[in-house]
Amino acid sequence: MKRLLALVRTDIGRKALMGVTGLLLIAFLITHMLANLLVLFNRDGYNEYSHKLTGNPLIYLAELGLLVFFVSHFVSGILVWMRNRAARPDGYTMKVRADRTGRKSLASTTMIASGIVMLVFVPLHIATFKYGPWYTTADGRMRDLYRLVIEIFHSPLYTAWYLIALPVLGAHAWHGFGSGFESLGVAYSSELRRLGQAIAVVLTLGFMAVPVYVLLGGGAS
């Protein structure tokens, strides 16, 4: 444990921690998005899945793990950013747009900003859906999370915020996927970059599908 803590205090250790936790969070987002898509096709299936998930006693351990990943990712990211800023306090005298083969992008240069947006979005999202109004299904067997989702996305203000935050999440994953592997010593390649970009696009569109579905009149409150 002491060796692990000592490693995390180094620049390499912080980058590795940021990479590992970031990739684990992306993996969670993929499974979460796939579960969300049940709303579009199967109301009972979505409620059954949610009931089995929240009814599992290991859910608390999983939630604790996700909290640790999220906090560790954010803190290590901030520390790496601060270290980089300290190493170049005056920045560049003149910025030149990278050529087509350059790795600089809007996503890569706004990672801290998009991370801060996620720091606001995630707790609000959890508070809205995990601790929101409690409805039961018609037979009273379980919580009707489907109804909650539909009613939440009937709120124009929350839906607008949600649809704005999702592209920011996608931008973070757009650069973070390849960067995470690079932090772990995996050579950065065009294939890895394209895979990360594809995952970011799928995540963004997949999560946006549910509120758009409700906006178009889908579902029933």
pTM for the predicted model, two decimal places: 0.85
pLDDT tens digits for 6-33? 666 787 888 889 999 999 999 999 999 9
Domain that holds residue 162: 11-84+106-215
Long-range contacts of 27-32 (CB under 8 A, 24+ apart): 28/66, 28/69, 29/169, 29/173, 29/203, 30/199, 30/203
Q: Is 180 contained in some domain?
A: yes
Q: Is 163 contained in some domain?
A: yes
> Is residue 105 very low, low, confident or very high in pLDDT (cuts 50, 70, 90)?
confident
Q: Is 221 contained in some domain?
A: no
Q: Is 2 contained in some domain?
A: no
- What percent of the chain has pLDDT above 70? 88
Q: Is 97 contained in some domain?
A: no
Total number of domains in the chain: 1
User: With 90 as the cut, is the pLDDT of residue 103 above it?
Assistant: no
Q: Is 37 contained in some domain?
A: yes
User: With 90 as the cut, is the pLDDT of residue 213 above it?
Assistant: yes
State the CATH number of the domain containing residue 29.
1.20.1300.10
Q: Classify each residue of 192-205 as buried b or exposed e, where b means 16 or more C-beta atoms within 10 Å of its C-beta.
A: bbeebbebbeebbe
pLDDT tens digits for 148-171? 999 999 999 999 999 999 999 999
Looking at residue 210, what is its pLDDT?
95
Q: Is 61 contained in some domain?
A: yes
Q: Look at residue 136 and give its three-state secondary structure.
A: strand
Q: Is 95 contained in some domain?
A: no
